[in-house]
Amino acid sequence: MDRIPILKLGRALLVSIQVDIHDRLAKALEEDLSERIVATGARGVMIDISGLEIVDSFMGRMLDNIAAVSRLLDADTVVVGMRPAVAITLVELGLSLTGVKTALNVERGMTLIGSGQYEEIEGDDAPGGGDERDEG
């Protein structure tokens, strides 16, 4: 895998990290996401990390960066599905991810970023997509 897929869900972008990824892939995701926020005019970014068995300082910094960049681009970021053992470990590592919003699951995450439009999972051509455009 050389790219992590980014889905468009209504006015939000959804990324699901399902396997352990190496640093270059994480870096690529950071760049891809900022481009897609601009290209789609997305108002929210949801990152599902329920598949991640650990989050270390590199990945933590990536999540923080994504949140900071999307804030500048007028989009909210929410990280969902963090495992309890991961949360405990992150705090002891010294990383509290204060700049990142979190939610327990995708549904709550969608509420948090104000985009509950699951029916638009088809993405670009779905009716009601408003003025959004997606080059991806």
Tell which one of 32, 56, 132, 134 touches another protein (CB under 8 A): 56
Asked if 89 touches another protein (CB under 8 A), the answer is: yes
Tokens of 118: 């699951």
b/e string for 50-67 if b means 16 or more Cβ within 10 A? eebeebeeebbebbbbbb
Tell which one of 94, 98, 128, 135 touches another protein (CB under 8 A): 94
Phi, psi of 51 (to 5 degrees): -85, -5
* Residue nearer to another protein on the CB measure, 12 or 82: 82
Asked if 17 touches another protein (CB under 8 A), the answer is: no
* Residue nearer to another protein on the CB measure, 55 or 80: 55
